[in-house]
Chains A and B, each alone.
Chain A
Amino acid sequence: MNFKNRNRSARTDMLTYLGVTVAFIILTVLKSTGGLNRSQSGLLVPICCYIVMAVSLNLTVGIMGELSLGHAGFMSVGAFSGIIAAMSLADIIPSPGIRLAIAMVVGAIMAGVVGFLVGIPVLRLRGDYLAIVTLAFGEILKELITCLIVGSDGKGLHIIFNITGSKTADDLHLLEGGRVIIKGAQGATGTQTIATFTAGFILIMVTLLIVQNMIRSRTGRAIMAIRDNRIAAESVGISITRYKMIAFVTSAALAGSAGALFGLNYSNLAAAKFDFNTSILVLVFVVLGGLGNIWGSIIATVVLYILPEALRSFATYRMLIYAIVLILVMLATNTAQMKTLLGKLIPGRKKEGADNE
């Protein structure tokens, strides 16, 4: 039984890698032959970023079982540290590909460090209290980044922390030829957009490799044991704090590298973009895709990210339709009557539902 299960999960993993790769090849071919219009190909990199965000949040919400409402905060940390890294290295390393890779690594490290610092207080709490504190940290990170003014010149990085709101980029006193990277509330302006779809694909593959291998490892089993029964897990000698921290920091670091890619995809980016609503957006992807289901997160992200764009012809009604779809899907998948109805309509589904019980 165990062996059979193992085979099945390994097969699902392989299918996920295969699916993502096939989708990447098809889209790349379409893009190079002109099968995608400008606005469609513009969606490719953000979709990659949000897929990584959803998969990494799934690690916290689905696998670890704690609700996080501040995931966009880590994305924001990754985005701005990635932008600073890529922009300040512009003269030293001319190759955009290498700079993008460095930016993503820097973004991941910075977000991981912030994740660790946030995790120390957050992971002591549980349930709704944990949720509200992650929300609070998300908002704090957003406001702190709004206060940053950063520039770089021949002497290195200059950073001002603009608490009173009275300082401007002139206070950096940059040397000749220096450039301002982040201008407080305006955010990063004049960023070179070096993000590419290929980088997005590689990031998704790396994320899947990390997350799926983690879930199937001893660490992942420990994390899921804590989720299913904290007291039982503790009594067999699993260190709650340690494993929760591993999951949380991994999730934050992946969000950070997704943020770096996202930040380098736009020439202008304000910290206000990464607010509570962005966290919620990603959470919706995760929940609709199925908690703990990595493949589901990917599909849900693609569908839900494209849905509002596809509804663009309905203009004003599109978010209304999105909201109604959201409510109806939740009602359809979570009420007993609808489940039996679906079971009658789709014969295969009933069995699956019985499996989950």
Chain B
Amino acid sequence: MKFLAYLISGISLGSVYAIIALGYTMVYGIAKMLNFAHGDVIMIGGYISFIAANYLGLPTLVSVIVAMAVCTILGVVIEGLAYRPLRSAPSLAVLITAIGVSYLLQNSALLIWGANPKSYTPVVSGTLHLFDGQLTISYVSLLTIVACIVIMIALTLFTGRTKMGKAMRACSEDKGAAQLMGINVNRTISLTFAIGSALAAIAGALLCSFSPTLMPTTGSMPGIKAFTAAVFGGIGSIPGAFLGGILLGVIESLARGYISTQLSNSIVFAVLIVVLLVRPAGLLGKYVPEKV
């Protein structure tokens, strides 16, 4: 029973990672850049929904939608101002810029909302009791798992079936050729950032419902772990991000329960290293052999 409890908390934690990792992997797939500021967009999403719910008195669902709208605009603005001028620059320059954006967001949040942690009210409260109360599952966990699956399916359909999704896949394959076919590459990349940031806002609200302390640094560690999850599953692949996120959450939860709380992150990272050694492109990533 204890195992089951750890497993379920792992899957729900993993679902949050998966939602973040989906944003990471889409941006990576199309812009070929590690967006280190993604974790901080999550944090901003958390704060916006917190303010909308607590100060403006909006219902929870509306507050999350407000956060999504703000983060979408934020994501597009960041891409337009900071990343677009660097499209042809070396990847390290883009990486450092992303780190700069991450510092910028963290310190802006610090100035606006202060360093004191805010206590976030979970989006849904209450728990489900099963087997005479031996197993308790919070509704937040269930909601997270459902949200993650819905988002995953929606994204798969979007990239697979719609015209915009097709444009995205074309851009990620070859930007030059996509442009020749009449695809507006800049707009497609903006759209990707918009989707990724909206997902980050959802992830922010869910993440803060799990661990209800909201600080300017809240997004950093989940951001890094979600990035790990994206690499774990094969970066650039949507099912890969989903699988990577869930597995990472489960491994972390089991490691915390059975081995050591202090070393849980280390165990997660150690598993990642082993996986990458066996499958250098991640679990579901495509391995492209080099041609000479």
Interface size counted on chain B using CB atoms at 8 A: 46
Can you pick out 10 interface pairs between chain A and chain B where the beta carbons lie within 8 Å of each other?
A136-B272, A140-B265, A231-B290, A284-B99, A291-B92, A317-B111, A323-B107, A326-B103, A334-B86, A336-B88
Is A13 part of the binding interface, using a Cβ–Cβ cutoff of 8 Å? no
**CA gap between A284 and B272 in the complex, in Å:** 26
A128 neighbours in B (Cβ, 8 Å): 28, 34, 231, 235
**CA gap between A147 and B92 in the complex, in Å:** 34
Pick from A129, A137, A284, A330: contact of B269, CB below 8 A.
Answer: A137
Q: Dominant SS at the A interface? A: helix
B224 neighbours in A (Cβ, 8 Å): 135, 139, 276
Q: Shortest CB–CB separation between residue B50 and chain A, in angstroms?
A: 21
Is B49 part of the binding interface, using a Cβ–Cβ cutoff of 8 Å? no
A147 neighbours in B (Cβ, 8 Å): 262-263
B82 and A327: CB pair below 8 A?
yes
A287 and B96: CB pair below 8 A?
yes
Closest A residue to B28 by beta carbon equals A128
B100 and A330: CB pair below 8 A?
yes
Decide: A335 near B262, CB < 8 A? Known: A231-B292, A326-B99. no
Per-residue interface assignment for chain A, residues 42 to 68, with 1 indicating a CB less than 8 Å from any chain B CB and 0 otherwise? 000000000000000000010000010
Is A175 part of the binding interface, using a Cβ–Cβ cutoff of 8 Å? no
A185 neighbours in B (Cβ, 8 Å): 262
A316 and B110: CB pair below 8 A?
yes
B101 neighbours in A (Cβ, 8 Å): 323, 327
Interface size counted on chain A using CB atoms at 8 A: 48
A143 and B262: CB pair below 8 A?
yes
Is B73 part of the binding interface, using a Cβ–Cβ cutoff of 8 Å? no
**CA gap between A326 and B273 in the complex, in Å:** 31
Per-residue interface assignment for chain B, residues 74 to 101, with 1 indicating a CB less than 8 Å from any chain A CB and 0 otherwise? 0000000010011011101101110111
B111 and A129: CB pair below 8 A?
no
CB-based A-B contact count at 8 angstroms? 129
Pick from A67, A125, A323: contact of B104, CB below 8 A.
Answer: A323
B276 and A143: CB pair below 8 A?
no
**CA gap between A185 and B97 in the complex, in Å:** 32
Is A165 part of the binding interface, using a Cβ–Cβ cutoff of 8 Å? yes
User: Which A-B residue pairs are the 9 nearest by beta carbons?
Assistant: A136-B269, A326-B100, A323-B103, A334-B89, A323-B104, A327-B100, A320-B107, A143-B266, A319-B107
**CA gap between A336 and B93 in the complex, in Å:** 13
A124 and B277: CB pair below 8 A?
yes
Is A17 part of the binding interface, using a Cβ–Cβ cutoff of 8 Å? no
Q: Shortest CB–CB separation between residue A162 and chain B, in angstroms?
A: 8
- CB interface residues, B 51-75, toward A, < 8 Å: none
Per-residue interface assignment for chain B, residues 253 to 292, with 1 indicating a CB less than 8 Å from any chain A CB and 0 otherwise? 0000001111101100110110011001100000000101
**CA gap between A231 and B290 in the complex, in Å:** 9
**CA gap between A62 and B259 in the complex, in Å:** 39
- CB interface residues, A 270-309, toward B, < 8 Å: 276, 280, 283-284, 287-288, 291
